[in-house]
């Protein structure tokens, strides 16, 4: 089967062929992907997924690629990017937003309106759907505190509403992460009224702190490992001797040991291997099993 020709016949959105992974990952990974499809709406997405499932084709839904590692030099499946799912409705403290909407853009938009509860989100370089999937968060808050409900496409290609209590939000995980056949389409967030000046001052202070403590000038995907209970992943990695170490094209940041940076166009394979090495050494030295926060795709 000529996959590209069949996808074009489907008319399920814009198609890009043989794309560089560096354009679809914040790590700016080397390598390529066979094809990326941008569905315009739920009907096109459903039609695309029906075709993919019928023909048993590998696929991956992606947002901004801010938490994923392609551990391959060539992804031979279909990447599906939901950037056209970007509707936004603000009704007092209730926000209905498409899964493809940029999380940081949304946070700044809402802060200007004096809506509080979302101050943790600026600086998280993902989409709203990806943030729900990973239960993204910072500063002792996360999506689980503010998401009221979401609209999903089920593995059976049915549209369903799931409520907060259904989503099993815990530290950097959710029902969606444990059940990847469910696709987030739209999110309803409930915030509160607050003081615009106080909100913006807090966001500015946190931005300054991030710039001072995180290597934001280099390609990365944020924190690599979850913090173990009662400890910090960066402390363990630093104590294991990895802070600032260079491994060919990739490095463990000398500013924050829980960041792997990719200043020289390294591959996801290199990053995966380094992650496994760090996990092994931390386990050996401190008897702690570090849990990877980022998603590795083979």
Cβ–Cβ < 8 Å for 8, 50: no
Q: What is the DSSP string of 170-186?
A: BTTB-HHHH-TTSEEEE
Q: Where are the beta strands (DSSP E) in the chain?
A: 14-20, 32-38, 59-62, 68-70, 74-81, 88-91, 94-98, 115-116, 137-138, 141-142, 147-153, 159-163, 183-190, 192-193, 246-247, 250-252, 260-261, 295-297
Determine the Cα–Cα distance for residues 254 and 260; give it in Å rounded to an integer: 10
Determine the Cα–Cα distance for residues 214 and 196; give it in Å rounded to an integer: 26
> How many Å from the N-terminal Cα to the C-terminal Cα in the chain?
22
Give the three-class secondary structure for 53.
Answer: helix
Determine the Cα–Cα distance for residues 188 and 151; give it in Å rounded to an integer: 8
Number of Cβ within a 10 Å radius of residue 100 = 24
For the CA atoms of the chain, what is the radius of gyration?
19
Cβ–Cβ < 8 Å for 86, 101: yes
Determine the Cα–Cα distance for residues 63 and 237; give it in Å rounded to an integer: 28
Q: Which residues of 222-235 are buried (b: 16+ CB within 10 A; e: fewer)?
A: bbbbebbeeeebbe
**266 DSSP 8-state letter:** -
Return the active site residues: 172, 223, 293
């Amino acid at each position: 089967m000529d996959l590209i020709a069949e996808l074009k016949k489907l008319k399920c959105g814009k198609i890009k062929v043989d794309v560089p992974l560096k354009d679809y990952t914040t790590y700016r990974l080397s390598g390529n992907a066979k094809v990326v499809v941008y569905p315009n709406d739920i009907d096109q997405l459903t039609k695309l997924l029906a075709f993919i499932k019928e023909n048993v084709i590998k696929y991956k839904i992606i947002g901004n690629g801010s938490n994923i590692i392609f551990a391959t030099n060539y992804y031979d499946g279909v990447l599906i990017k939901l950037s056209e799912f970007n509707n936004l409705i603000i009704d007092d403290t209730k926000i209905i937003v498409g899964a493809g909407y940029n999380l940081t853009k949304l946070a700044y938009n809402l802060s200007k309106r004096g809506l509080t509860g979302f101050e943790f989100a600026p600086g998280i370089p993902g989409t709203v759907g990806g943030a729900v999937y990973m239960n993204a968060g910072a500063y002792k808050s996360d999506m689980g505190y503010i998401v009221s409900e979401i609209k999903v496409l089920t593995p059976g290609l049915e549209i369903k509403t799931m409520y907060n209590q259904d989503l099993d939000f815990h530290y950097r995980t959710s029902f969606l992460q444990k059940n990847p056949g469910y696709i987030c389409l739209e999110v309803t967030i409930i915030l509160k009224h607050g003081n615009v000046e106080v909100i913006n001052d807090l966001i500015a202070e946190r931005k300054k702190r991030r710039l001072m403590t995180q290597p934001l000038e280099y390609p990365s995907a944020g924190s690599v490992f979850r913090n173990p209970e009662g400890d910090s992943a960066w402390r363990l990695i630093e104590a294991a001797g990895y802070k600032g170490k260079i491994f060919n094209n990739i490095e463990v940041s000398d500013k924050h040991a829980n960041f792997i940076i990719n200043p020289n166009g390294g591959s996801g394979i290199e990053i995966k291997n380094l992650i496994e090495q760090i996990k092994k050494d931390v386990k050996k030295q401190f008897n702690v099993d570090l849990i990877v926060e980022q998603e590795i795709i083979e």
